[in-house]
Amino acid sequence: MISEAIRLWLKQTLETDELTITTLSGGANNRGYQVASHQGSWFLKSFSPHHTQSTNKLTNEFSFSQHLWNNGVKSIPEPIASCKQNYVSLFKFTQGDSIECSSPKLVSDALQFIERINDIPLDNKSLNVASESPSSLIGFHTIIERRLARFKATENSKCLKELLEKIQNRADKVRCLLPENAGVKLERNILSPSDFGFHNAMKTKQGLVFFDFEYAGMDTSWKLLCDFFSQPAVPIEMNSLKLFFDSQLFQHIPIQRNIFLTTLELTHLKWCLIMLNEFIDDIQTRRKFSWNKSCITYDELEEVKSKQLAKSQKYFESIAARIESASTFCDLSAVK
């Protein structure tokens, strides 16, 4: 339900009393609405007022979108206005289709988007550090440790405990493959949407449109590349690595083959844990908000947990083959 305060803000912002508001589905952490009038159509994003990071996420996403839009990047929804008091932001509504599977053309378009936003002169003072951006190579392992710690406060099933132990053990083994200077500070010299993948993009008549920049900011090229090729919702085939390795932004990475393969595997393990978020109490609260439900029944929650556990287990089992595939394209690029 939209509160009267938000309705009033919308009327004042759009300068009309005639608004039709339709609830949209699909959000994992936030609520989405289509707002329409005779003047046009907009997307209203509503953040949970009960989450401590909602204001930061709202502000970060809107300022990042403004930064891109004001510098001529139009392959994103146009930012219109935001209201911290009501935890909402407003964008021009974008009509498009979700992306079900990757392709070389789509990967090329995604790379062009990253190159385009990194052509913009940087104003580091107004741009945040991207979410979970590791300050060093060892930080890729630290992220996993922090995420694993969040499960200690939950009642875990036997199957979940077994998977968490496998992830922990593998992460610790992979950590040993990092170089001796893994603690040296990494340069955050690339602008990144952070949660970057085709799950946060749509096909439109004008081309791809990217959205969801809550976690965006300055990042390392290692993390951006590893996250893009680890995202499980719309998997990217490793043969597309060549496109990125040919880019000036990432051409240094295949030269450091072992470091890349190590950070890539640690990132895959991180995504195993992200898929298990439904087991964490704080995440469950956010899901209740985004699903627009005052409560989620025990059976509903258990069904979601079961599905996510199965997805994570399957993804974990696929990691070795994906890393082996990535190593092939590292070798090909390094000897080019």
pLDDT of 334: 54
Q: What is the band of 260 on the pLDDT scale with cuts at 50, 70, 90?
A: very high
State the pLDDT at residue 86: 95
Q: What is the CA radius of gyration of the chain?
A: 21
pLDDT for residue 285:
63
Tell me the pLDDT band of 246, cut-offs 50, 70 and 90.
Answer: very high
Please state, in angstroms and rounded to a whole number, the distance separating the CA atoms of residues 168 and 316: 12
- The pLDDT of residue 281 is 76
pLDDT attached to residue 291: 53
What values do phi and psi take at 212, rounded to 5? 70, 80
Q: For residue 68, is pLDDT > 90?
A: yes
pLDDT at 259: 95
Instruction: State mean pLDDT over 85-105.
Output: 96
| Distance (Å, whole) CA 49 – CA 68 | 27
pLDDT digits (tens, 9 = 90+) for 2-34: 899 999 999 999 999 999 999 997 666 689 999
- Return mean pLDDT, the chain: 91
Asked whether residue 200 carries a pLDDT value surpassing 70, the answer given is yes
Q: What pLDDT digit, counting tens, does each position of 169-182 carry?
A: 999 999 999 999 99
Which residues on neighbouring strands pair with residue 32, listed in sequence order?
A: 24, 45
Residue 265 or 291, more confident: 265
* Backbone φ, ψ for residue 107 (5° rounding): -65, -40
Query: Residues with Cβ < 8 Å from 169, sequence gap 6 or more?
Result: none
Mean pLDDT of 97-103: 95
Amino acid at 184: V
* The predicted structure's pLDDT at residue 278: 86
Is residue 189 scored above 70 in pLDDT? yes
Domains of the chain: 4-94 (3.30.200.20), 98-334 (3.90.1200.10)
How many CB atoms sit inside 10 A of residue 271's CB? 19
73: which 2 tokens? 């990047």
Measured in residues, the chain has a length of 336
Q: What percent of the chain has pLDDT over 90?
A: 78
Report the candidate in 267, 272, 260 with the shortest Cα–Cα distance to residue 316: 272
Q: pTM (2 decimals)?
A: 0.92
What is the C-alpha to C-alpha distance for residues 86 and 90, in angstroms, rounded to an integer? 12
Confidence (pLDDT) at 25: 79
User: Is the pLDDT at 192 greater than 80, yes or no?
Assistant: yes
pLDDT tens for residues 110-161?
999 999 999 998 765 668 999 999 999 999 999 999 999 998 877 678 999 9
What are the tens digits of pLDDT across the range 279-315?
887 765 655 555 555 556 767 788 888 999 999 999 9
